[in-house]
Amino acid sequence: MKDKNDKKVFYSEKYGWSFPGKYILFAIPAIVGLMYFENTLINIILFLYLFGCVIGFIKGDK
């Protein structure tokens, strides 16, 4: 039996909206940006952003 708090999509004050695949969706612009931009500074920023998305995907919001 499912609990009332066992929803797949929910909002929390600490993490904002939480749903399956959130960090994968966040990582898509970083991957596209890494392929598109040639500027080293922009690539470093996008890589750090992508690294944060990977950590968020592994650790999750809970």
Residue-wise pLDDT for 18-35, tens only, equals 777 888 898 999 999 999
Give the predicted TM-score (pTM) of the model. Answer: 0.73
Give pLDDT, residue 3.
55
Question: What own/partner pairs with CB < 8 Å and gap ≥ 24 does 9-15 have?
Answer: 12/61, 15/61
Note whether 4 and 10 are within 8 A (CB).
no
d(CA 60, CA 41): 28
Helix, coil or strand: residue 60? coil
